[in-house]
Every structure is written in structure tokens, then in C-alpha cells.
Chains A and B, each alone.
Chain A
Amino acid sequence: MIKITTQRFYAWAGVAGVSLLALSPAIASAATSTANTTINAAIASTISITSSGTVNVALTPTAGGVVSSASDTVSVSTNNTTGYNLTLADGDTNTNLASGGNTIAAHAGTYAAPTALTGNGWGYAVAGGNFTASYTAESNSGASTTKWAGVPSSASPQSLKTTATTAAADTTTVWYGVRATSAQAAGTYTDTVTYTATTN
């Protein structure tokens, strides 16, 4: 009886051993694999610009000439981290203010070398630099000494400002001055200027 029991023990032990061998792959430690994905969100540069739309300058001329001026406010917003460049040019290649067949010519002064308006002419100014340090509106001033530049043709815009960071409603004040003598025919003289803001 004891002998039989010993035989059975060895038999069961053998079966258990075989079973453990057969199951060994199933209880081995888990294998691991990884994969990375890069998320790219490309936010494009955007830019927007506004200006007053209309600048009105009124003059009552004298024989010696008077200067009147008024300002325009240009506002630029951009998310561009390297900023923007603002330019100014006439709306077309004719830089005269016109009233029917009568004209007021653009001033001969330039952005690099602005000068006081003479005779019958008009110009723009941005305070500082080579222009006058600061401007306030003039009204029929017979002794104006402020400096002005002629608005360039649409073919050759003039850069007014260059920034280096994002901008939220960053404003630039652009002044417009007109000088007229009593030799200039009465009337409303008009021209259009174009501001362009471009991301750097």
C-alpha cells in the first residue's frame, strides 16, 4: 500500500512538472513598446490696420499764405513676434490734392529732409526724427515753422515705423498740413493716402 502511494506521488509530481514547463511562457514578465507623436500647431501671423478714414483741413488763405493741419491715427495689431512695418503712400501716382481742375501740389520736402511748407502745397509729418519734435493742430497760421514731407507716389511707399514685437492697437499719429495763399482757388481739394502694415 505504501509502495503504491509512493508511485502515485512520483506520478503526480511528474505531471505537475510537465504542466509548469508548458505554462512557463504565459507567466513571463510583460513586453513594452512606445511610440511618440509630435503635435505641431502652426499659428499664422495676422495683422490688421485701421485709420480715421477722413482728415479735414480748413483754410482761409491770405496773400502771404496760411497753414492749417489735422491728424490721422493709424492703429495696427499683429500677433507676429517680430513685429511689423508701416508704410505710407498716395493712393495712386498722382500726389496732388485736386478740386475739379485746380490742384495743390505735394510738398517738395521729404521724409529724410522735411521742410516748412511754401506757397501752395501739402504734406505729412510724423513727430520726431527729422520732423518737428511735436505737432499740434494749426489753424490758418501765417507764421508756421513746422516741417513737412510730400506724400510719395503709390509706386514708392515711405516706411514710417518698424517694430519688433507683437502689437495690440499700436497707434501712429500722422499729421497732414496744407498751405494756401489767396491765389489758390476756393474749393475742397481731395486726395487719398494708403497705409500698409506688413509683418516682419
Chain B
Amino acid sequence: MEAVYRRKAFVFGGVFSLISAIMAPIMASAASSTSSTTINATVAATISMTSGGTVNIALTPTTGGVVTSASDTVSVSTNNTAGYTLSVANTDASTNLTSGGNTIAAHTGTQASPSTLAVNTWGYRVVGVGGFTGTAYSAETNNGSSTSTWAGMPAAGSGNVLKTTASVASADTTTVWYAVRANSTKAAGTYTDSVTYTAVTN
């Protein structure tokens, strides 16, 4: 009896092997191959800036002199993750406000060491920058006893840094104040000059 079972097992084994051999090509798994590609998208650093375009300052001078001020708002946007540097300078080498042949000279105070405006001079200030102390400033109008401190606008090519940031910026604003001190010896007229702000990615 046991011999019969062994014989049957042998026969079944043989048949199974034969079927397997015949079916092998049909049951083979599909071949497969892979390849990888790295996608690199380089987004360049960009920066844009706006300013008020015009700052108007009106004075009615006195013998002792008065100070009037107004502000400009500089807005910078950049996608640069290391931020930007903002500087200001006169647009050219002449730092005077001019009205025909008449002038108002730039103040002698500096950003590092600002001072109250001398008679018939003009200057700028940015709260909290350099030697400009305090946390706030508001416009003055024909102020005969002004104590605010100012710096003379540097000539083109010698700009002063107003701000340095360290991250991306979206319409990041800086308020730059301008003031003039005039006494009644200053000829009436509209005195003009142009300043240039420059924002550079770090």
C-alpha cells in the first residue's frame, strides 16, 4: 500500500514539474526599469521700491527762522531671503536746494552726528537710525523753537545706509523726513533738489 502511494506521489510530482516547465514563459514577471531626474527651479532674487515722488515743505520765515518738515515713505519689496540694504544720497553732486540762482545749502550735521538745523539749511532724518534718537517724530510747521536734529544730504556716490534687513520683505516701509529752516533773509521761491534711494539685495 505504501509503495502504491509513493508511486502515485512520484507520478504527480513529475506531472507538476512538466506543467511548470511548460508554463514558465507565460508566468514570467514583467521586466521593469526606472530612471530619476532632479528638477531644479532657480528663482532669482528681485527687488522693487517706491517712494512718494514729491515732498512739499512750506515755510513762512521769520527773522529768527522757522523749521518746517514733511515725510517721504519708501517702500521696498524683495524675495531675497538675506534681505536688502537701503541707502539715500543726493541725485547729483550739488546738495543745495535751488530756486533759480538762489540756494538753500545742505545742513552740516551728519547721520552719525545730527544736529538742529542752522539757519537757511535743509536736512533729513530717519527715526532710530544713526545718531537720530527717539522712537517717534511728527511734522513741524514754521516752528521757531525746533529742537529736532538733522543731517545734510550726502552727494551722489557717498550715500548713507538707512536700513539693512535680513529676510524677504513685502512693502517694507521706511519713513524719511525732510526739513528746511529759513529766515526772512531767504528770497521767496520754490527751492528744489532731488534725492535718490537705492535698495540692493544682500
Contact = CB atoms under 8 A, between A and B. Distances in A.
- The size class of the interface chain B forms with chain A is 20 to 34
Contacts of B46: 60-62, 182, 186
Interface stretch (B12-20, B77-85, B139-147): B77-85
Contacts of A49: 33-35
A84 B183 CA distance: 90
A104 B35 CA distance: 23
Contacts of B25: 42
Given A56-B42, A58-B42, A185-B43, A196 B34 contact: yes
Interface in A117-166: 122
Contact of B37 (A53, A58, A104): A53
Contact of B42 (A53, A57, A62, A183): A57
B1 to A, nearest CB: 37
A116 interface: no
A108 to B, nearest CB: 17
B30 interface: yes
Contact of A55 (B35, B37, B48): B37
Interface stretch (A6-14, A26-34, A72-80): A72-80
Interface string B62-105: 00000000000000011111000000000000000000000000
Contact of A54 (B40, B45, B201): B40
A185 B38 contact: no
Label chain A's interface by main secondary structure.
Answer: strand
A94 interface: no
Interface string A164-180: 00000000000010101
A182 B77 contact: yes
B90 to A, nearest CB: 29
A37 interface: no
B11 interface: no
Interface in A58-95: 58-63, 68, 72, 74, 76, 78, 80, 91
B38 A55 contact: yes
B40 A188 contact: yes
Contact of A195 (B36, B39, B48, B81): B36
A193 B79 contact: no
27 contacts: A45-B30, A46-B31, A51-B35, A53-B37, A54-B37, A54-B38, A54-B40, A56-B42, A60-B44, A61-B44, A99-B43, A182-B78, A182-B79, A184-B79, A185-B80, A186-B44, A186-B46, A187-B43, A188-B42, A188-B43, A189-B42, A190-B41, A194-B35, A195-B34, A197-B32, A198-B31, A198-B33
Interface of A: 42, 44-63, 68, 72, 74, 76, 78, 80, 91, 97, 99-100, 102, 104, 122, 176, 178, 180, 182-200
Interface of B: 24-25, 28, 30-46, 48, 77-81, 168, 170, 201
Given A183-B79, A198-B30, 8 more contacts: A48-B33, A49-B33, A55-B38, A55-B40, A56-B42, A59-B44, A122-B39, A195-B34
